[in-house]
Amino acid sequence: MKKSILTLFFVVIATQLSAAEPVKIGMITTLSTKAGYLGEDTRDGFKLAIAQESGKLGGFPIELMVEDDSRKPEKGRQIAERFIKKDNARILTGIVFSNVAMAVIPKVVREDVVYLSTNAAPSKLAGKGCDPNYFSVSYQNDNLDEVVGQYVNDSGHKSVYLIAPNYPAGKDHLAGFKRYFKGEIKGEVYTKLGQSDYAAEIAGLRAAQPESVFFFLPGGMGINFLKQYSQAGLADEIPIYGPAFSFDERILEAVGPAAEGVKNGSQWTHDLDYPANIQFVKAYREAYNRMPTLYAAQGYDTARLIGSALKEVNGDPTDLIKFRAALKKADFESVRGNFSFGNNQHPIQDVYIREVIKTAEGYTNKTVEKVFSNHVDAYASECPM
Amino acid sequence: MLLFFEQILNGLQLGITLFLMSAGLTLVFGIMQVINLAHGSFYMIGAYVCATVAARSGSFLLGMALALPAAALCGMLMEFVILRRLYKREHLDQVLATFGLIMFFNELTRILWGRQPLYLNVPSWLSGSIELLPDLVYPVYRLAVIGVGLFVALALWFMFSRTRLGMQIRAGASNRDMIGALGVNIKLLYTMVFGLGTMLAGLAGVMAGPILAVEAGMGESILILTFVVIVIGGIGSIRGAVAGALLVGLVDTLGRAFLPTLFRLVFESATADAAAASLSSMAIYILMAAVLVWKPTGLFPAHS
């Protein structure tokens, strides 16, 4: 009798303790360098979901640890190591850049840690390199190029001129565009990475007389290109297209009127008419006093997905098989509307074309058209899962 | 043919921006024997001040009018507070100190203006393009940049060869003890030369602002090109800076513009694009190597 009471006492204590022990989530993201706002938005979107449940996700307390990878692969790797070994985190998330992701993800998923991508989703992890412990909540990197390829096709443009920087991601993004564009390619130019002046490329482009232009130039490169394109007087003559990466609200602020009217591909815009999205945009603006970007929406969705899975496994992510199955159900209301995971654990979702417009508050995007419904990425069939 | 002419203009415009940068840098090196890696920071300061003032007042010219003295003042202040102590030290010490200054200035701009790039547009009276020849359309703003650069080159030439100040500066470059002994306040002269150099960098930044993103660290990418220019032209020589800048501007632009076409004559398209993209980004370094093999001290060495 005495013994069983004692046992009962310990059981009660143990369950009390485990209930109080928060679920640890390690966020590796880019908070410094010029691209630091991408990580800030990812973090703030994620934090908003936790704050809305007053410190919990799916009803279980969360301890979110955030570290800055400074956009450096080796630093991302060190942080991951620390999160896993020292802090004992079983869930990692948050990486913005694909090169950092490639240094971190293949290693951590081997150690039975679940990684949920809030942004970077390189093709190597979507096809043959897919893994049961890896989920992309954002997209597969070139989804946003594919949608533009299809749209440019649908708009009746018979030819295109392509520009991207000369590094692996540049070629991937153009490949995504070419997968759906059926017309003639009048030129395919690879510039130096980090190039600032595009006068030579723009002169060549004008001489080639294409009916449309598609560019993938991340960060400051895109700002420079758009300004110079407009200064060359081409903005009114040849329509220009790109993936959403050069058109978030913070970049548009620096580009100014040169971006107005440019159409770009994205799986999310703040004006998508879903209750979850309307609520998210309002809450985000109240909490941080700025418009959410794509990265904020992806961070928010990732947090809510984790919440939905934690609820199902009763707050215990250590039973990997159950936890992964719960994640794969994607039983949450995404701000993007339709959302489910394909066999390679990348999203099956709608992808849109949006247009840059000017409002009283500055430049922003509005949704123009849904181009793909329940779109599956091109690498899913190669994934053995 | 017209495309070739347009690309020459593009090369000229890049060359002139590089000249404004390298003139100041080489002046400082030629006269004070000090290597200033932080020169790109004044380019950044010029662009930031101009963008801020233009955004507040709506006037690009007012922005420019304040950005130039701001860059000059920052330069003179830096010379007075820090560089003055480094004249007698080795070049390695100067490189380390001025490299530290790059980080200092980048961080300072981030603190003052935030991490996001600023927006600076072409003034309306310089926007748009004009038809130089039938079918040759060129942005007015880039023509204005070429014009301003040529004017500055002429003004510098006039100052150096026709004025008393220019004579003192040239004399100081040859023998600083002697010019000091002749009663010229060499310290003040140095500070003024430094201010002139940083003002030219600020001017380059102001003119690049509407074309490029105004962001922290924007000075570094152009700084590398600037060093290539002064190494090719001959360290310390203004004439060398002119020649080197135009050469680098043309080689870089024409390489990017025509190498892919040339390569496609020989290779299949995908290989040609990849090879041309790599080779054109190396073109100026190959040029530099070739010049240095031919003339190890650059095209117009200052103290030959």
Phi-psi region of A198 (alpha: psi -120 to 50; beta: other; left: phi over 0): alpha
Pairing of strands A340-341, A347-359: antiparallel
Residue A344 CA: distances (Å) to CA of A37, A126, A298: 29, 6, 18
Q: How many CB pairs under 8 A join A and B?
A: 106
Of A200, A202, A158, the closest CA to residue A182 belongs to A158
pLDDT band at B176 (very low <50, low <70, confident <90, very high): confident
Q: What is the CA radius of gyration of chain B?
A: 20
Q: Which of residues 172-211 of A touch B (CB under 8 A)?
A: 188-192, 194, 196-197, 199-201, 203-204, 206-207
Whether the CB-CB separation of A143 and A377 falls below 8 Å is answered with yes
Q: Facing residues of B138 across strands?
A: B130
Q: Facing residues of A375 across strands?
A: A349
Q: Distance (Å) from the C-alpha of residue A63 to the closest C-alpha of chain B?
A: 28
Separation of alpha carbons B24 and B241, rounded Å: 9
Pairing of strands A184-191, A213-215: unpaired
Q: Per-residue confidence of chain A (385 residues) as pLDDT tens digits?
A: 556 666 655 555 555 545 568 999 999 999 987 788 899 999 999 999 999 999 999 999 999 999 999 999 999 999 999 999 999 999 999 999 999 999 999 999 999 999 999 999 999 999 999 999 999 999 999 999 999 999 999 999 999 999 999 888 888 899 999 999 999 999 889 888 888 889 999 999 999 999 999 999 988 889 999 999 998 889 989 999 999 999 998 889 888 889 999 999 999 999 999 999 999 999 999 999 999 999 999 999 999 999 999 999 999 998 999 999 999 999 999 999 999 999 999 999 999 999 999 999 889 999 999 999 999 999 999 999 8
Which tokens go with A32? Answer: 């410094």
> Are residues B221 and A194, on separate chains, in Cβ contact within 8 Å?
yes
Residue A71 CA: distances (Å) to CA of A45, A75, A94: 19, 8, 12
Q: Which of residues 214-253 of A touch B (CB under 8 A)?
A: 220, 223-224, 227-228, 231-233, 250-251, 253
| Residue B180 pLDDT | 82
Region B77-101: mean pLDDT is 91
Of A79, A75, A95, the closest CA to residue A87 belongs to A79
pLDDT digits (tens, 9 = 90+) for B212-243: 889 888 998 899 999 999 999 998 888 899 99
Whether the CB-CB separation of B52 and B44 falls below 8 Å is answered with no
Q: Amino acid identity of A29?
A: T
Residue B100 CA: distances (Å) to CA of B21, B47, B197, B291: 20, 21, 19, 31
Q: Amino acid identity of A264?
A: N
Question: In chain B, what is the straight-line distance between the N-terminal and C-terminal CA atoms, in Å?
Answer: 40
| Residue A3 pLDDT | 61
The count of other CB atoms within 10 Å of the CB of residue A361 is 9
> Are residues B211 and A250, on separate chains, in Cβ contact within 8 Å?
no
> Are residues A34 and B137, on separate chains, in Cβ contact within 8 Å?
no
Region B267-280: mean pLDDT is 80
For residue A334, what is the DSSP state?
B
DSSP A223-273: HHHHHHHHHTT-TTTS-EEEEGGG-SHHHHHHHGGGGTT-EEEES--TT--
Pairing of strands A23-29, B129-133: unpaired
Whether the CB-CB separation of A251 and A224 falls below 8 Å is answered with no
> Are residues B273 and A253, on separate chains, in Cβ contact within 8 Å?
no
Whether the CB-CB separation of A176 and A145 falls below 8 Å is answered with yes
Separation of alpha carbons A59 and B173, rounded Å: 74
DSSP A142-197: THHHHHHHHHHHHTT--EEEEEEESSHHHHHHHHHHHHH--SEEEEEEEEPTT---
The dihedral formed by the CA atoms of A233, A235, A239 and A244, expressed in degrees to the nearest 10? 140
Which tokens go with B234? Answer: 């001959």
The count of other CB atoms within 10 Å of the CB of residue B271 is 12
Of B7, B25, B2, B1, the closest CA to residue B280 belongs to B7
Pairing of strands A159-165, A362-375: unpaired
| Residue A156 pLDDT | 94
Separation of alpha carbons B280 and B255, rounded Å: 5
Q: CB-CB: which of B127, B211, B273 is closest to A188?
A: B273
| Residue B22 pLDDT | 93
- In this prediction the ipTM stands at 0.84
Which tokens go with A10? Answer: 């310990």
Q: Distance (Å) from the C-alpha of residue B236 to the closest C-alpha of chain A?
A: 27
| Residue B303 pLDDT | 62
| Residue A13 pLDDT | 55
Q: CB-CB: which of B142, B213, B221 is closest to A223?
A: B213
| Residue A6 pLDDT | 61
Whether the CB-CB separation of B97 and B219 falls below 8 Å is answered with no
Q: Which of residues 292-331 of A touch B (CB under 8 A)?
A: none
Separation of alpha carbons B26 and B227, rounded Å: 9
Whether the CB-CB separation of A159 and A183 falls below 8 Å is answered with yes
User: What is the percent of chain B with per-residue pLDDT over 90, rounded to a whole number?
Assistant: 53
| Residue A11 pLDDT | 56
Separation of alpha carbons B186 and B171, rounded Å: 11
Separation of alpha carbons B31 and B175, rounded Å: 9
> Are residues A196 and B13, on separate chains, in Cβ contact within 8 Å?
no
H/E/C letters for each residue in chain B? CHHHHHHHHHHHHHHHHHHHHHHHHHHHHHHHCCCCCCHHHHHHHHHHHHHHHHHHHCCHHHHHHHHHHHHHHHHHHHHHHCHHHHCCCCHHHHHHHHHHHHHHHHHHHHHHHCCCCECCCCCHHHCCEEEEECCEEEEHHHHHHHHHHHHHHHHHHHHHHHCHHHHHHHHHHHCHHHHHHCCCCHHHHHHHHHHHHHHHHHHHHHHHCCCCCECCCHHHHHHHHHHHHHHHHCCCCHHHHHHHHHHHHHHHHHHHHHHHHHHHHHCCHHHHHHHHHHHHHHHHHHHHHHHHHHCCCCCCCCCC
Residue A245 CA: distances (Å) to CA of A15, A149, A268, B33: 46, 15, 12, 45
pLDDT band at B178 (very low <50, low <70, confident <90, very high): confident
| Residue A16 pLDDT | 52
pLDDT digits (tens, 9 = 90+) for B58-80: 999 999 999 999 999 999 999 99
Name chain A contacts of B210, Cβ cutoff 8 Å.
227, 231
Q: Is residue A254 within 8 angstroms of chain B, CB to CB?
A: yes
Which tokens go with A82? Answer: 């620390």
Q: CB-CB: which of B115, B273, B280 is closest to A37?
A: B115
Whether the CB-CB separation of A366 and A271 falls below 8 Å is answered with yes
| Residue B268 pLDDT | 78
Pairing of strands A23-29, A91-93: parallel
Separation of alpha carbons B29 and B36, rounded Å: 8
| Residue A250 pLDDT | 85
The predicted model scores a pTM of 0.86
> Are residues B127 and A207, on separate chains, in Cβ contact within 8 Å?
no
pLDDT band at B28 (very low <50, low <70, confident <90, very high): confident
Q: CB-CB: which of A190, A196, A232 is closest to B221?
A: A196
DSSP A21-48: SPEEEEEEE--SSTTHHHHHHHHHHHHH
Most B CBs within 10 A among A196, A221, A228, hence the mutation to make, goes to A196
Phi-psi region of A55 (alpha: psi -120 to 50; beta: other; left: phi over 0): left
Whether the CB-CB separation of A245 and A222 falls below 8 Å is answered with yes
Separation of alpha carbons B18 and B242, rounded Å: 9
Residue A290 CA: distances (Å) to CA of A286, B41, B266: 8, 30, 53
Q: Is residue A12 within 8 angstroms of chain B, CB to CB?
A: no
pLDDT digits (tens, 9 = 90+) for B278-295: 888 899 999 999 999 999
